[in-house]
Amino acid sequence: MKKCSIVMLLLVLAVATILPVAAMAKEFKFTAIPDQDTARLQERFGKIADYLTEQLGFKVTYVPVKSYSASVQAFKNDDVQMAWFGGLSGVQARLAVPGSVAVAQGEEDEHFVSYLIAHHSTGLAEGSTIPTGVAGKTFTFGSKDSTSGRLMPEYYIREQFGKSPEELFATVGFSGDHSKTIALVQSGSFQIGAVNFKVWEKELAEGKIDTSKVTVIWKTPEYPDYNWTVRGDVEKVFGEGTIAKIQKALIEITDPVLLNAFPRKRFIPADNTMYQPILDTGRAIGIFR
C-alpha cells in the first residue's frame, strides 16, 4: 500500500509539472517591426492577438521589440513564432530560419513605394526623378533595416547619382522609424528624408503633417514590402496544418478597425518568391552577400 501511494504521488507530481509546461508551449507569440510609435503598435497588434486567439483556438500574444534587428533576432531565437516584417527584415528572418514562410501581405504591399520628403527651406519640388538639388543636403533614413525607409531609397539614390548616400549628402542619419523621419524633416532637423508612403498618408490624414513645412519631392518605383512570416517549425508544437490556419485567419480579416490600424484594405496570400526583388536589391548594395 505504501509503495502504491508513493507511485500515485509521483504520478500526480509529474502530471502537475507537465501540464504547465504544455500550457506554456501552446502560447503562440508574434512580434512586429517597430516602424511607428509604441502606443500605436500596442493598440494595433493587441487587437490582432485577440482576433487570432479566437480564430486559432490557442493563446496568441503580441511581444513588442525595440528595433527592426530585435524583431529578426526574436524570430531567429524562437522567442516568437511569427512576425509582421518589412520586406528586408522578412528576407533576413527567413534566411536565418530555413523553412520559414511568408504567408500574407497587405493588398497594398504588392505595390509599395517610398517617398523622399523635403523641408520647405530647400526649395525642392516634386519631379519624376530625384531632384539634383538634394546633393549636399542633410538626409535621414528611417531604420537601418527598413525596406521603405532605407533599402529601396538607397538603391535608387545610388542608381541615379552613382554615389553612396554618404558621398552625396552632407550628413546621413537614421531616425529609427517613419514617424520620427517625418517629424525630423518637418522641424528642419534634417532637410530631406525617406519615408514609407503609408505612414505619410496616414499622418497626413490625421493632420499631423504641415505641408507648408514639408512636402514629397519624389516617389520610388513599386516594390514588394510588408509581410506576415511564420517559422517553419511551428507545426511541431501547434499541430499539422497550423500555418495554413494562420494564413486563412489573416486573409479573412474583415473588421475595418483591425484593417484600418495597419492601414490596409485587406490581407492577401503571400509566399517567399514574391520577395526575391528585395533579396536582389540587398545584394546589389551589399546588405546580403
Grade residue 25 by pLDDT with cuts at 50, 70 and 90: low
More confident residue, 155 or 11: 155
Phi first, then psi, for residue 70 (nearest 5°) are: -65, -35
Amino acid letter, 278:
I
Domain boundaries along the sequence of the chain: 2-110+224-284, 113-219
Phi first, then psi, for residue 90 (nearest 5°) are: -65, -45
The structure's pTM equals 0.78
Superfamily of domain 113-219: Periplasmic binding protein-like II (3.40.190.10)
**Residue 36 pLDDT greater than 80, yes or no:** no
Q: Return d(Cα 275, Cα 225) in angstroms, integer.
A: 8
**Residue 44 pLDDT greater than 90, yes or no:** no
Residue-level pLDDT at 165: 96
Q: What is the pLDDT of residues 191-211, one digit of tens each?
A: 999 999 999 999 999 999 999
Grade residue 288 by pLDDT with cuts at 50, 70 and 90: confident
Helical segments of 109-234, H only: 152-161, 165-168, 178-187, 197-205
Half-sphere exposure of 169 (CA within 13 A, CB side): 20
Cis peptide before 263 (omega within 30 of 0): yes
Grade residue 145 by pLDDT with cuts at 50, 70 and 90: confident
Superfamily of domain 2-110+224-284: Periplasmic binding protein-like II (3.40.190.10)
In 3D space, the residue among 67, 68, 85, 69 whose CA is nearest the CA of residue 30 turns out to be 85
Q: Return d(Cα 60, Cα 40) in angstroms, integer.
A: 19
**Residue 56 pLDDT greater than 70, yes or no:** yes
